Structure 1
Amino acid sequence: MSNRDATDTIIGYFYQFDHSISKLLELNRNEDSITIEGIEDVDIKTIDEDTAIQCKYYAKTEYNHSVIAKPIRLMLNHYKEVKLGLKTSVNYYLYGHYKGGQDKLILPLTKKFLKENFLTFKKDNILHSHHDELGLEDHDLDDFITKLTIDINALSYDIHLENILELLEVQFSCSRFEAEHFYYNNALKVIKEIATKTDVSEREISKKEFLNKIDKKQLLFDEWFVRFKGKKKLLSSLRKEYFTHLNTSPFERFFLIEIDKSNYLRSELKELLFLISRKWSNLSKREPTPFCPYVYIHNISQNALIELKKDLYRENFRFVDGFNFYGASFSPKSLCVTANYENKIKVKIINEIEHFDLILDEISNTKEIYQFYLQKPYFNLDNEGIKHVSIRYENLNDLKEIV
């Protein structure tokens, strides 16, 4: 498959995901639900009716009747099962975006047009009349047409996504960044997970359940969101939103960094500490309230942390860790000492996550916590007065592009 074909395929998947997301957000009642890839791509269940939706995106393809003929025949198959009492009656909705050629479809749909263009076809040089093979009469086709809606002028991918982000902004009273990076990001993950369930009963989700699942203000480095956004652009947008260095305020900033202890280089970790210190410290004589960052490294072994500190000490990189002398107990006051031009403290290292409450209680200044995790957050803070941002990441080099 060429890169262009692969990109088109990915966009097609996103378009179907987005359609499911928008349909959930547009449901009138929290109890209403949809089923992902049930009868069709999306099945909608409300108090008033059930609807089966086939959703396709062909931005580079001209519309031809053959493109939607098979989906219509599959819908007719379901209609026949309804007549036999095997399935529940639904309305059918065919939704698609095409490069052009929409004028070929004449609406409203007639029985004659339906038969000639969608139900009659050749396979292996044999002419098939799908309605006849199903044993359906003309009055059945008339009834089927009343249940079928075809829209081949669906929104483009970009406009569709824009509408979703606007719906999310309204739903959660949030900024565009939050709508995209928190809620849309989470929504993609939820829809993707539901779509992969084998049992169709597990692929149903109500609007209420969906909103609860996506209402999480943590940045997921989800593979689908990375594909949607592009990794470089994603890292850049995170940096712009949270880590712009201009007009840095003298806050007490905590950088919590989880490492894969079996797959990291101490040299890379040191480079990251140097970068964080350089960007988020101000020890100038002219700074009235000098400051430097706190760093906690999650999953690092005690011996590895000691070796890291030895390197920092040898390289004359001044730090404190809350222990005043060999054998001393941890002192939050010692760790929270003000960094300045005279003592040249460039970073404050937190050895154990259990020390956090003591440290936060010791500090009266504005505090901000940035937690970077590999799979799931490892630090929870129940304090709305402290800014706490959780970001999932893949490797240490990614963090160098963010902070």
Structure 2
Amino acid sequence: MGRSADYTIQGFLYQFNHTLSELLKAADDAVITVEGIVEDIEVATYDGLKAIQCKYHETKKNYTPSILYDPLLQMMKHFKSNPMAKIEYHLFVHFPGDQVVEVTSVHLNGALGSQNKDLQVLIADVAGVDVDGFLKAFSVTVTPKYEDLAKENSDQLEALGFSKAEVETLFYPNAIQIIADLSIKHDANLRKIARRDFLDTLRRIRTTAVSQWTLALKTRHKILDTRRKQLKQNLGANVRLRHLLVFPKFLQCFDDQIVLFIKSYVDKFHFKLVHTQTPLFALDVSEDQLDDIAERLMGKDVVPNLGRPVRAFSEVNFFREPIVQRDKKEFVLRLICLRGYQGLALKTKPDDLFVLGDGELMDLDVKDVNVEVLGAEHFEEMKYIMGISNAY
């Protein structure tokens, strides 16, 4: 994988790739439920329902049936609760090497008789299940390793007419991102997507998603380079109003790096007199944290406007233009807490709204605004993508 992503991320990416594989191979009218209530993936067609679980065990050198007891019990519980439903149960597993994985009635009864304390509630729920009936609806498949599955999906996208030159850095990572975004929705109905709609959405996307998921892909370096090129034109304009929303969650070393990042941004994009549009930074932090960051910025001769000469916030003060004396501006950025930004009545919308880190736009009005979501975890990656630095 692109960087040394831990096995948890690898496991999720394996699941997302299996979902993508199901989407690409399904009929146009098939509806996929990403990470269904019981199963990892559900595929609904006119012929019935396929309930799929994916288990990626890259570190398990020796396969034993007990490794699969939990997903097998989950599936049997679902089978027992839906005796009349037309459901096929599929378990996709990966173990290193050429290990043979077989599931028989002996293995299922072994799961039902397990003494594992963590499984006892589940075992009680499955008591009395028709083991032979479940086996008739069940299959297990040993799958390729993660890299091979990802390559198959890329090849399938090309076969469906997606530009070969853009599959690696645009369509494949965005396909994974669409699935990842669906997977976190709490309502199962919101995690459903039809193959036709999925492909239509994918074809309309022209910017590469940057997130913990896409940057964990093998093509991470190419994704960063591609996103940098996509942003270059707008960031190169002297007169362009930009708002930056910064979410500390998952941003590594936020407290150590945020002041350096803001200064680097100002030094790159707001140092000339022709840079007339004062950038606005909205940070998802408390007022005390914001004041601390403001003090540290001033210590580096980067003067922010907080919209409050003392304590009371004034929107008029916040949006006034800085006094300019020769080549010195009174202040070089506007700085505000995210919750304060959400309450602003913006008379002028930004040209660009950058979302840095892991966060949502909530109810912000972004009509006619160019929204750029950069979900990298490191400020160095963020600076590279935005052209502030030439390395990461």
Is the TM-score greater than 0.5?
yes
1:146 aligned to 2:136? yes
1:96 Cα shift? 0.8
Aligned to 2:127: 134
Q: Is the 8 A contact 2:16 2:180 kept in 1?
A: yes
Q: Which of 95, 100, 112 is the equivalent residue of 1:98?
A: 95
* Cα 1:112–1:46 shift into 2, 3 Å: same
**1:67 counterpart = 2:55:** no
What secondary structure is seen at the aligned counterpart in 1 of 2:51?
A: strand
Question: What secondary structure does 2:150 align onto?
Answer: helix
SS in 2 for 1:60: coil
Q: Which amino acid aligns with 2:199?
A: L
Counterparts of 1:169-188 in structure 2 under 5 Å? 169-176=158-165, 178-188=166-176
CA shift, 1:15, in A, is: 0.7
Say whether 1:111 aligns with 2:108. no
Determine if contact 2:243/2:352 at 8 Å carries over to the other structure.
no
Q: CA deviation at 1:241?
A: 8.9
1:374 counterpart letter in structure 2? F
For residues 209-220 of structure 1, the aligned pairs below 5 Å read 209-215=197-203, 216-220=205-209
1 CA distance for matches of 2:276 and 2:197?
35
Name the Cα RMSD after superposition: 4.5
Deviations 1:22-57 (A, max 9, x none): 2111112x2111112223100111122211011011
The count of aligned residue pairs is 297
**Deviation by residue 1:333-371 (Cα, 9 ceiling, x = unmatched):** xxxxxxxxxxxxxxxxxxx999xxxxxxxxxxxxxxxx9
**Partners of 1:391 and 1:127 in 2: how far apart?**
47
In the other structure, the counterpart of 2:113 is: 120
- Once the two structures are TM-superposed, the CA of residue 236 in structure 1 deviates from its matched residue by 3.6
Match of 1:167 among 111, 135, 156: 156
Question: d(CA) in 2 for partners of 1:236 and 1:129?
Answer: 47
User: What displacement does 1:94 show?
Assistant: 0.5
Structure 1 SS opposite 2:55: strand
1:190 aligned to which of 146, 160, 178:
178
2:306 is aligned to none
- Residues 50-97 of structure 1 show CA distances to partners (whole Å, capped at 9, x for unaligned) of 1101101111213210111221122111221122x5xx3310000011
Cα distance in 2 between the residues matched to 1:229 and 1:134: 44
Farther-moved stretch of structure 1 (255-264 vs 160-169): 255-264
Instruction: Tell me which amino acid in the other structure corresponds to 1:11.
Output: Q
Q: For the residues of structure 1 that align with 2:59 and 2:20, how far apart are their CA atoms?
A: 23
Structure 2 counterpart of 1:82: 82
Q: Is the 8 A contact 1:220 1:391 kept in 2?
A: no
Given that residues 266 and 308 in structure 1 are in contact (C-alpha distance below 8 angstroms), is that contact kept between their aligned partners in structure 2?
Answer: no
Q: Is the 8 A contact 1:35 1:44 kept in 2?
A: yes
Contact preservation (8 Å) 2:354, 2:373: yes
Cα distance in 2 between the residues matched to 1:207 and 1:192: 16
Corresponding residue number in structure 2 for 1:255? 236
Instruction: Answer 1 or 2: higher relative contact order, Cα 8 Å, separation at least 6.
Output: 2
One-letter code aligned to 2:200 = N
1:266 is displaced (CA, Å) by 6.8
Cα distance in 1, alignment partners of residues 106 and 263 from structure 2: 73
CA distance in 2, matches of 1:42, 1:187: 15
Q: CA deviation at 1:198?
A: 1.8
In the alignment, is the contact (CA less than 8 A) between 1:187 and 1:214 conserved in 2? yes
Relative to structure 1, the CA distance from residue 378 to residue 309 in structure 2 (aligned partners, 3 Å threshold; closer, same or farther) is farther
User: Structure 1-normalised TM-score?
Assistant: 0.59
Q: Which amino acid aligns with 2:206?
A: K
Q: CA deviation at 1:307?
A: 5.6
Q: 1:255 to 1:226 in 2, by over 3 A?
A: same
From 207, 213, 234, the counterpart of 2:195: 207
User: Residue 121 of structure 1: SS of its match in structure 2?
Assistant: coil
Q: 1:127 to 1:22 in 2, by over 3 A?
A: closer
Match of 2:46 in 1: 47
Q: Secondary structure at the match of 1:66?
A: helix
Residues 1:27 and 2:16 aligned together = no
- Distance verdict in 2 for CA 1:43–1:64, change over 3 Å: same
Q: Which residue of 1 aligns with 2:145?
A: 156
1:273-321 Cα distance to aligned partner (Å, 9 max, x none): 89xxxxxxxxxxxxxxxxxxx99968578846x9699479xxxxxxxxx
Change (3 A) 1:233 1:111: same
- Check whether the contact 2:87–2:137 (CA below 8 A) recurs between aligned residues: yes
Match of 2:385 in 1: 398
Once the 2 structures are TM-superposed, how far is the Cα of residue 169 of structure 1 from its aligned partner? 2.5
The answer to whether the 8 A contact 2:79-2:134 is kept is yes
2:29 and 2:195 in contact (8 A); partners too: yes
Question: Aligned in 2, Cα 1:37/1:307: closer, same or farther, shift over 3 Å?
Answer: same
Structure 1 residues 147, 269: CA separation in 2 closer, same or farther (over 3 Å shift)?
same
Aligned pair in 2 of structure 1 residues 126, 197: CA closer, same or farther (>3 Å)? closer
Identity within the alignment, %: 23
* Cα 1:24–1:253 shift into 2, 3 Å: closer
Question: How far did residue 206 of structure 1 move?
Answer: 1.0
Q: Which residue of 2 aligns with 1:10?
A: 9
Letter of the structure 2 residue corresponding to residue 187 of structure 1: A
Residue 210 (structure 1) shift: 1.6
Q: Give 1:8 shift.
A: 1.2
Consecutive unaligned residues in structure 1, runs of 5 or more = 244-251, 275-293, 313-351, 355-370, 382-389
CA drift at 1:217? 0.8
**Further displaced range: 93-102 or 43-52:** 93-102
Residue 233 to residue 210, structure 1, CA distance change in 2 (3 Å):
closer
Secondary structure at the counterpart of residue 50 of structure 1: strand
* Counterpart contact for 1:58–1:97, Cα < 8 Å: yes
SS in 1 for 2:46: coil
Distance 1:175 1:379 in 2: 31
